[in-house]
Amino acid sequence: MSASLIEIARTFNSFTSAAEKSVLFSTKQNPSTPSSKQLYIANTLVGFVPPFAIEAFSKSSYFTSTPISITLVPSLLSYQQRTHAIASMLSAWKSSGLFECLKGWRNEQYTVYGSNNEPIVAIERSAIGLFGVRSYGCHLNGYVRTVDAHHQSTIKMWVARRSYRKQTNPGMLDNIVGGGLPCGANPTANIIKESFEEAGISSDIASRAISVGVVSFWQDSSIRGYIPDTEFCYDLELDASFIPHPADGEVEEFFLWDLETVKDHLSKGEFTPEAGLVVVDFLIRHGAVHPLSEPAFLELSLLLRREFPFPGPSFV
């Protein structure tokens, strides 16, 4: 069953603006329903804890709880102390099988940022939805300009099928290059590194990628929790003779499709959430989706740029 682009964008923004306001403006007299709670670390609002994780946090000696909020104890003063304490707690949760999402343990950490955009703690990637903190990734739109049978310039996009052995979204469609942004990494440097590892794109070629902004969305997953995600987006025009090849086992195969074919696979729900919205953004910027073709163009555009009430990084 096919879905429109606006339906896809709404699905990937399943944590709605109304739900956000319900948690953000909760009071002790009128706590949010259901019982999502604000999460504070180092005197900063950094996330929303989903209802199914509330009890586990309330039982941890590292956190204190009120009807509307959960706070990491202030005695953990440093980045290292906070990171160690949370890692210890998560390890215990993983060993006990408390949360389904921790079965996908990655041994990879994501950074959480404070009010001055400084790193204040790092959290295991598979657990971030339990804290409802921001996550980050980088995606590369690899494309080729060709001439069609009518001698008109046209664009084709390289699309990857994720390995069937991947922990998350196995076998789904993805950008030619894409992945999470590890602790301490710069998105541009990271996309150049990942381009070689995932698609065999040399650093000389990958360094020509153009930063084209970000896509952000907010998911509500019954297994993972709340995922307010930001993807740093890059465009890279490739020669028609270039053929990507999987270099690290992350990709099953690559396809070179015209944009109508890409839209068809999008409508069938075959793309990962991150890649799906990054591709929609590409289609808009290259004129394949516009107000004449998409009645909900304004809402669609806004859903690609969700704003979050939590601090993010500074790349200085």
Please measure the distance between the N-terminal and C-terminal CA atoms of the chain and give it in whole angstroms. Answer: 46
Residue 65 and residue 177: Cα distance in Å, rounded? 41
Residue 241 and residue 239: Cα distance in Å, rounded? 5
For 268: left if phi > 0, alpha if psi spans -120 to 50, otherwise beta; the answer is alpha
Cα angle, residue 293 at apex, residues 18 and 3 outer, rounded to 5°: 55
Residue 158 and residue 22: Cα distance in Å, rounded? 40
In the three-class reduction of DSSP (H, G, I as helix; E, B as strand; rest coil), residue 57 is classed as: helix
Q: Greatest CA separation found in the chain?
A: 69
Contact 131, 47 (CB under 8 A): yes
Last residue of a domain, one of 109, 131, 153: 131
Last residue of a domain, one of 112, 131, 150: 131
What pLDDT, on a 0 to 100 scale, did the predictor assign at position 136? 96
146 and 110 part of one domain: no
- What the block records as the tokens of 201 is 């794109």
163 and 83 part of one domain: no
237 and 279 part of one domain: yes
277 and 182 part of one domain: yes
Query: Is the peptide bond between 228 and the residue preceding it cis, with omega within 30 degrees of 0?
Result: no
Residue 215 and residue 137: Cα distance in Å, rounded? 10
* CATH number of domain containing 78: 3.30.750.160
In DSSP terms, 178 is beta-bridged to 139
Contact 280, 301 (CB under 8 A): no
Residue 53 included in any domain: yes
What pLDDT, on a 0 to 100 scale, did the predictor assign at position 2? 65
Contact 145, 155 (CB under 8 A): yes
210 and 297 part of one domain: yes
283 and 139 part of one domain: yes
Residue 2 included in any domain: no
What pLDDT, on a 0 to 100 scale, did the predictor assign at position 315? 80
What pLDDT, on a 0 to 100 scale, did the predictor assign at position 1? 52
Contact 266, 154 (CB under 8 A): no
Q: Which residue has the tokens 């990494």?
A: 185
Count structural domains, the chain: 2
106 and 217 part of one domain: no
271 and 146 part of one domain: yes
What pLDDT, on a 0 to 100 scale, did the predictor assign at position 150? 77
Last residue of a domain, one of 131, 160, 177: 131
Boundaries of domain holding 156: 135-303
Q: Please say whether the dihedral angle defined by the alpha carbons of residues 118, 124, 130 and 135, taken in this order, is positive or negative.
A: positive
In DSSP terms, 47 is beta-bridged to 39, 133
Contact 212, 188 (CB under 8 A): no
- 3-state helix vs strand vs coil in the chain, percent to 5: 30, 30, 40
Considering the entire predicted model, what is its pTM?
A: 0.93
Residue 258 included in any domain: yes
Per-residue pLDDT of the chain (316 residues; tens, 9 = 90+): 567 999 999 999 999 999 999 998 876 666 655 579 999 999 999 999 999 999 999 999 999 999 999 999 999 999 999 999 999 999 999 999 999 999 999 999 999 999 999 999 999 999 999 999 999 999 999 999 988 777 788 999 999 999 988 878 899 999 999 989 988 899 999 999 999 999 999 999 999 999 999 999 999 999 999 999 999 999 999 999 999 998 778 899 999 999 999 999 999 999 999 999 999 999 999 999 999 999 999 999 999 999 999 999 988 6
236 and 285 part of one domain: yes
